[in-house]
Amino acid sequence: MTSQTQNSIPEIFNRKTIKHNHFKFNKLYKQIANELAERIKETNINFEYALELNSKTLSTGTQIENTKLVKNLYRTIIHSQTKNTLINFYSDEEFLPIKNNSLDLVYSVLGLNTVNDIPGTFRQIYNALKSNGLFIAAFWGAGTLSPLAEGLAYADEKILGGLYQRIFPFCDIKTMGSLLQRAGFTMPMADQEKIVKSYKNISNLFTDIRSFNECNNLNSRPKTFTPKSIFKEAEIYLKDNYSNNIEFFIPYNIIFITGWKN
């Protein structure tokens, strides 16, 4: 990839701010990882060499290994502030140091959401796979956290008199399928599952979001301190518009993508 090509890619996310010291293995993440493991199991194919991109927890790999279909599993992570025992080597998902035609399976559980160059990453994964190799991944889909985005926008407009990008953009299912095909994958598939969670207050919601090790690492994010009144006003909005008078409801849309290499 030339520097000219690199410079043409919009730098939506500041990938230097990605950290992995806040992750907690919550129930929703476990549910998503279980679903991905089941999809791998359904192939009934033995994978000699598998790679997990941007691994967040050893438990994900354990679920994949429990399928009894993976012989050798390796994990990558981009970087971390603390000593990390999750990984076999550090790697930026946008610049994979993987030999062509060397892997039988590449997968990711919510580990590619903040990649700037998704088409380029998909192509590198395709090149790294052997013939008949499988790529499978889970992404946050469009509509995830939409009530929270509405609430924060309402609060920003009311209190600060403007709009700020506080939640990063999520993937579109049709686009993901097209990008798989563009990268060269055969039998590209993309489907979406919706999971709705309830919260008593906005603080619990933010705790849940942080437990995924998700934060606002947009380059366009507000750089100034956000007053607490924004979050209080957003909570009022959520309780007024998405509540049963006890809890408010937040959707999480998960896109699963699958592609094979001929």
Torsional sign, CA 23, 29, 35, 39:
negative
Q: What is the pTM of this model?
A: 0.85
pLDDT tens, position by position, 12-67: 655 665 555 555 667 888 899 999 999 999 999 999 999 999 887 777 888 999 99
When pLDDT is averaged across residues 118-135 and rounded to a whole number, the result is 96
CA-CA distance, 66 to 41, in Å (whole number)?
9
Residue 187 confidence class, pLDDT cut points 50, 70, 90: very high
How many CB atoms within 10 Å of residue 4? 7
State the amino acid at position 124 in one-letter form. Answer: Q
- Domains of the chain are 3-260 (3.40.50.150)
Give, in degrees to the nearest 5, the angle at Cα 18 between 213 and 214: 25
Position 124 pLDDT exceeds 50: yes
- As a whole number of angstroms, the distance between CA 3 and CA 246 comes to 53
4: confidence class by pLDDT, cuts 50, 70, 90: very low
Count Cβ neighbours within 10 Å for each residue of 212-242 and write b for 16 or more, e otherwise: bbbbbbbeebeeeebeeebbebbbebbbeeb
Decide: 169 and 161 in contact? Cβ < 8 Å.
no
Q: What letter would DSSP give residue 209?
A: H
The pLDDT tens digits of the residues spanning 195-245 come to 999 999 999 999 888 888 666 665 556 666 789 999 999 999 999 999 999
Q: How confident is the model at residue 80 (pLDDT cuts 50, 70, 90)?
A: low
The string of DSSP letters for 101-130 reads T-EEEEEEES-STT-S-HHHHHHHHHHHEE
Binned at pLDDT 50, 70 and 90, residue 141 comes out as very high
pLDDT above 90: residue 155: yes
* Per-residue confidence (pLDDT) for residue 92, from 0 to 100: 76
3-state secondary structure (DSSP) of residue 176: helix
